[in-house]
Amino acid sequence: MTADLTSPSGPELVGPDTLDAPTADRLEVVPSRLDLLRARVTGRAVDLGVLAVALVVGGWLRLTDLGGVGINSDEAVYAGQAASLVGNEHFVGNFPVVRAHPLLFQILISPWYADGVPDTPGRYASALFGIGTIALVFVLGHLLYGRRAGAIAALLIAVMPYAVVLSRQVLLDGPMTFFTTASLVCLALLARTENGRWLVAAGALLGLATLTKETALILVMAVFVFLSLVPRFWRPKRYVALAAVAALGLAATYPIATALAGGGSRGQSYLVWQLSRRPNHDFLFYLTEIPVAIGVLTLATAAAGLILLRRRSSWRETLLLAWIVVPFVFFEIWPVKGFPYLLVLAPAVAVLAARACAALIDLSPRRGWTVVGGAGLTAALVLAGVVPSWQLVTDPVASPTAGSGGSPGGREAGSWIDANVPASAKVMTIGPTMANIVRYYSGNPSDALSVSPNPLHRNPSYQPIINPDHAVRAGTYRYLVWDAYSAARSPSFSSRLLALVRKYGGRVVHTESAVFDGATREVVVIYEVPR
């Protein structure tokens, strides 16, 4: 069409009204390159904004008020090991370096435990590993399903109660999950690039994870399950062999170093104990406790995505499902069921749930309701996670599940013993939980009534009290400590300790209380038995 340059209105404009209907329709449905560029830039900005929110909120949940409550039993062991590694005299006699787990994390945090009785440096280190895991989950989701899925996955893991509570404690599972998630990222890069070097890197990272906590070795099996189901990644086989050598070689350095240092027999004692431990939870524990900690809605969304998007299934779902199913089945069969053991599968669950949310937002052809529905589902998942996570941060009370919370009153009771009880005086507790806390904060030797006299049924670090009645009567133990957490777990041993208090005229010398459900209750009571 030629413009009429003499017209006072200028060139004649071309628009839908000047064209036939089919041509106008085509112009309406085909966006211009500028529109596509704007949409791409906007989408990128939104996704990176979601990632920024995930890092800020996740960091806030993990770093807020880390010293609000004293450390629990497992935290006392790992922090005590870190202090013993650098020769802190307060801890060396009570916390031997060689125990049930490797020492990578304890070595990393040990410089901050060289003096005094600190209890929060390890928590900050664990929280930083947790924040790093959020970033890795973004990378994983981005590699597998795109930037939007990665950003949503990072947001889900940032507010997930399971990840939050375990990242706020001096535990090995958070740092271990950082390394296993990094290994999972390398496996995704292997599949994307078919470069076998990424498989070797994945093996090395699993080796580091195993040096953090030996249970990470289970994920070597998950890698082989994935490689077996997607056999093209077996080639060239030299990379598979190198990956196995990297994982197993690094994992073997701890037992070899322990044996060369003369601690081999002690390490073997821990192995025998681990293999012969009695079940601490019933068969349904992981089916009832962990879904609540991860988020029932998050699990349901991940499962729905697998079903509804099954026609799009590829090696991606195989990889994530191997990462979830293998550790779950292993620890479900294994008699001992620790609350933190399944944290390693949480990142994969978050990515699968994010996949479903992103697929709904980006449903083609995109409609307003799909975007609103996907965003609404994402918001619901985040809200379902952030509310209980914030409750855990503001009220980190002791839980009947070991490893899921702090120990109210433990730090204060241990500090009181340190200030008021002779350093050589032995303390009797109901269970090892309070015994470890007393040892940590006071430095006093402490033994537990519930420790079995059978070597096969007790942690080699704990000494049994063979004849409690005689030990109290002879003055071996003049201070007896009752605590609500141990009493709830072992009511029979609680009754035995209180019976000894009554029999030998014990008197209350110190009490610690905490608020539960709006009511103030005694959580620790220290009794002194007269000579």
Q: pLDDT by residue (tens digit) across 378-393?
A: 999 999 999 999 988 8
Assess whether pLDDT exceeds 50 at residue 15: no
- Mean pLDDT (the chain) is 87
Contact 464, 458 (CB under 8 A): yes
**pLDDT tens profile 187-217:** 999 999 999 999 999 999 999 999 999 999 9
Comparing 271-280, 333-342, 500-509, which segment has the lowest mean pLDDT?
A: 271-280
Say how far apart CA 334 and CA 100 lie, in whole Å.
17
In this structure, the strands spanning 477-483 and 446-448 are unpaired
Instruction: Report pLDDT digits (tens) over 142-183.
Output: 999 999 999 999 999 999 999 999 999 999 999 999 999 999
The pLDDT value given to residue 408: 85
CA dist., res. 398 & res. 119, Å (int): 17
| Residue from 405, 403, 424, 421 nearest 413 by CA | 421
Which pLDDT tens digit goes with each residue over 404-426? 566 888 999 999 999 999 998 99
Reduced DSSP (H G I as helix, E B as strand, rest coil) percent helix, strand, coil of the chain, to 5? 65, 5, 25
Q: Is the pLDDT of residue 291 over 90?
A: yes
Whole-Å CA distances, 293 to 236, 266, 352, 527 = 40, 35, 17, 37
Task: Identify which has the larger pLDDT, 299 or 34.
Answer: 299
- State the Cα–Cα distance between residues 106 and 132, nearest whole angstrom: 18
Which position has the token pair 């994920």?
A: 219
Cα 68 from Cα 74, distance rounded (Å): 17
What are 63-86's pLDDT values in tens digits? Answer: 999 988 899 999 999 999 999 999
